[in-house]
Chains A and B, each alone.
Chain A
Amino acid sequence: GQSLEQPSEVTAVEGAIVQINCTYQTSGFYGLSWYQQHDGGAPTFLSYNALDGLEETGRFSSFLSRSDSYGYLLLQELQMKDSASYFCAVRDRGDYKLSFGAGTTVTVRA
């Protein structure tokens, strides 16, 4: 199986940049995904890195380094609506199970 670690909480002000790190232990996986979940809502897919490097989608970017077993989600120009929980996830190549990290709660202050 997989083990994913990410910080539990991050607080920042509007307009700031936040980086959420995700370290994992797995023997083989397809790629690293990120999901956002607002309080009381459903998780929604944000980004996916199949290969090493940076993927940019608007204000959000995601990075993967397989050699370092590490990835991150970068939130730029923070807005109040970005206050949510963010989860990293990997799918094992062997049993095809998708495992999630415990989530990082991002709080954006005015």
Chain B
Amino acid sequence: KAGVTQTPRYLIKTRGQQVTLSCSPISGHRSVSWYQQTPGQGLQFLFEYFSETQRNKGNFPGRFSGRQFSNSRSEMNVSTLELGDSALYLCASSTGTGGEQPQHFGDGTRLSIL
């Protein structure tokens, strides 16, 4: 079974630009969550999508948005990029039902803002 796939793996942008990251979950998984990870920080929760609906959202500004498609693939978008947005963005999928389910993470997209 293929794992979680994130594209692109690396991305360099400049301040003020916008970026779209993609995540393909494990087949059959309906929940996709996004996290931001910076050096010395844990995984900061961005949002979770389940069956094309945003189930919950972390404490990030409105510049961070996402969506999920009918095939469970998800995208996240960051507009008006700032230097502080430089981070590893991780996507994780799970079945999304039945209480706690293990999160299966992709290798992430490393975003650098110049």
A101: chain B residues within 8 A (beta carbon): 42
Does B105 have its Cβ within 8 Å of any Cβ on chain A? yes
Give the residue among A35, A45, A98 with the most B Cβ atoms within 10 A: A98
In the complex, what's the smallest C-beta–C-beta distance from B33 to chain A, in angstroms?
7
B104 contacts A by Cβ under 8 Å:
yes
C-beta contact mask, B41-68 vs A, less than 8 Å → 1, else 0?
A: 1110100100000011010000000000
Closest residue of chain B to A105 (Cβ to Cβ) is B40
Looking at B42, B90, B106, which has the most chain A CB atoms within 10 Å of its CB?
Answer: B42
Interface size class of B (residues with CB under 8 A): 20 to 34
Contacts of A102 in B (CB 8 A): 40-42
Q: Is the interface of A mostly helix, strand, loop or mixed?
A: strand
Contacting pair A43 B99 (CB below 8 A): no
Quick check: which of A13-21, A53-61, A89-97 contacts chain B, the rest being far away? A89-97
User: Is B82 at the interface (CB under 8 A from chain A)?
Assistant: no
Check B45–A96 contact: CB distance below 8 A. no
Query: Chain A, 83-110, contact with B by CB distance < 8 Å: what is the 0/1 string?
Result: 0000100010001111111110000000
Q: With A50-B100, A91-B100, A97-B56 in contact, is A103–B42 under 8 Å at CB?
A: yes
Q: 1/0 per position for A27-66, CB-CB distance to B under 8 A?
A: 0001101010000011111001010000000000000000
Q: Please list the residues of chain A having a beta carbon within 8 angstroms of any beta carbon in chain B.
A: 30-31, 33, 35, 41-45, 48, 50, 87, 91, 95-103
Interface of B with A (CB < 8 Å)?
4, 33, 35, 40-43, 45, 48, 55-56, 58, 90, 92, 99-100, 102-108
4 shortest interchain CB distances as A-B pairs:
A45-B102, A30-B100, A102-B42, A42-B105
Return 20 A-B CB contacts under 8 Å, by A number: A33-B102, A33-B103, A41-B107, A42-B90, A42-B105, A42-B106, A42-B108, A43-B103, A45-B103, A45-B104, A48-B100, A50-B99, A87-B42, A87-B43, A91-B99, A97-B45, A98-B33, A100-B35, A100-B43, A103-B42
